[in-house]
Amino acid sequence: MSFEKKKGIKRLTSSIKNSLAGFVDAVLTEDAFRQLLIINAILLTVTFFLDITKMERVVLIASSFLLLAVELLNTAIESVVDRISLERHPLSKRAKDMGGAAQLVTVVMTITLWLVILF
């Protein structure tokens, strides 16, 4: 199947539309993403009531956004692996486990940043 690639503003608007569709899909179908979204909304709000520097606030907010981005990437990896085959395979397990490990690293990083900045 051949299709013409979009260029310029059409490419940009199409890209934004597809990105928003992916975000909405994650909110509607992924429990882990919804949970992280709620937790991060709370943490984002809390950052504005803390007596911390602007740079510390930026670090906390950035870590929260990174947490959400890595969860989206982890979900994308899982979806692609499942699309290829639902059959158990060592490489499928490896890909899913590494996606989960990336999420775990980001969670640990975020918790560590909050602890270091608050205490």
**Residue the block writes with tokens 């692609």:** 80
71 part of the active site: yes
- Specify whether the CB–CB gap between 64 and 43 falls below 8 A: yes
Alpha helices in the chain (DSSP H): 8-29, 31-47, 54-84, 90-118
The residue annotated as part of the active site, out of 4, 56, 71, 78, is: 71
Count other Cβ atoms within 10 Å, centred on residue 76. 13
Catalytic residue ranges: 71
